[in-house]
Amino acid sequence: MAEKVSLPAKLINGGVAGLVGVTCVFPIDLAKTRLQNQQGARVYSGMLDCLAKTIKMEGYFGMYRGAAVNLTLVTPEKAIKLAANDVFRQKLSKDGKLPLWGEILAGCGAGTCQVVVTTPMEMLKIQLQDAGRLAAQRTVTASAPAVGPTPSLVASQAAQPGTNAPPRASATRITLELLKTRGLRGLYKGAGATLMRDVPFSMIYFPLFANLNAVGRTEDRHSNPQDRAPFLQSFVAGCTAGSVAAVAVTPLDVIKTRLQTLQKGEGEDSYKGIIDCTQRILKREGPTAFLKGATCRALVIAPLFGIAQGVYFLGIGEHLLGLLG
């Protein structure tokens, strides 16, 4: 029988794991957002081109635009997600065993719980990440006279004439203006699309991770996956399950990113909702557009969840609580 879940320890583990993981992979996530939002002028040809141009135009730390938001909110997000899955698995287990349907249901519950934090975090992060792309696009199209894009929260801080510096929007200003103009609903724009992405992701990730984490072990693979799981096995299982789930839900992530982007570049579509977004992307860009950023997502999620599960199963939270207790 597995030990009862220590919720405070799981929250600490999830928080630490999120901080370490995001710090390692954030530049690739920035490239993913910019590639997914490209509709009109083609600024970047791929992930490496995006990162190289970002460093050239914005400096090394330009790759970490929006990281402060993620580092602030990823702790509660990852803590809620990992802890919720652990709690749901425990509640759904009978005699220490959890069937496949229970694993999927636990993942569904975890994905649903995290949306409370994920939606506003992604909303703010995307505006900050995409600001550099918009500045680069203005540079590309500067020679051609055109009507500028509709003013928005990010556009209000446009670059000064004669410089390529991207607009320096801040998460605090965007938050305050969203609350002032749209209320709390403004921060939760795209919540439905976020839920549509995160629930399937968790339903794929957690059962796959639990089964990969049990490979080669003598105990029942439907029991608590934390039992005697070696660090390396947890890391590899997390990376593999994360990359598979990330690629599987990439089309949903593209839709979510497009819906949550407030500022649109020249000639880029705005969307009324999930269905409208899906139809417009299909009509204008074709089905391959739904796989934009798939490689980036795999490269982000794989180490992110590998690190997360490694730290989680090392039991840092338990050790820390032991020292404090």
Q: Could you give the count of Cα atoms lying within 13 Å of 225 in the half-sphere of its Cβ?
A: 27
More confident residue, 319 or 53: 53
Q: How far is residue 20's CA from residue 304's CA, in Å, rounded to a whole number?
A: 8
Q: How far is residue 181's CA from residue 179's CA, in Å, rounded to a whole number?
A: 6
Q: How far is residue 118's CA from residue 136's CA, in Å, rounded to a whole number?
A: 28
Q: Phi, psi at residue 32, to the nearest 5°?
A: -60, -45
* 98 in Cβ contact with 92 (< 8 Å): yes
> What pLDDT, on a 0 to 100 scale, did the predictor assign at position 135?
86
* 39 in Cβ contact with 269 (< 8 Å): yes
> What pLDDT, on a 0 to 100 scale, did the predictor assign at position 156?
43
**Choice among 72-86, 139-153, 201-215, 282-296 with the minimum mean pLDDT:** 139-153
Pick the closest to residue 86 from 208, 198, 3 (CA basis): 3
What tokens does 27 get?
A: 């530049």
Question: Is this structure's pTM higher than 0.85?
Answer: no
> What pLDDT, on a 0 to 100 scale, did the predictor assign at position 161?
43
Percent of the chain whose predicted confidence (pLDDT) is above 70: 84
Q: What is the pLDDT of residues 309-325, one digit of tens each?
A: 777 777 787 888 888 86
Q: What is the pLDDT of residues 154-174, one digit of tens each?
A: 444 444 444 454 446 788 899
Q: Where do we find the tokens 């993913």? A: 32
Percent of the chain whose predicted confidence (pLDDT) is above 90: 40
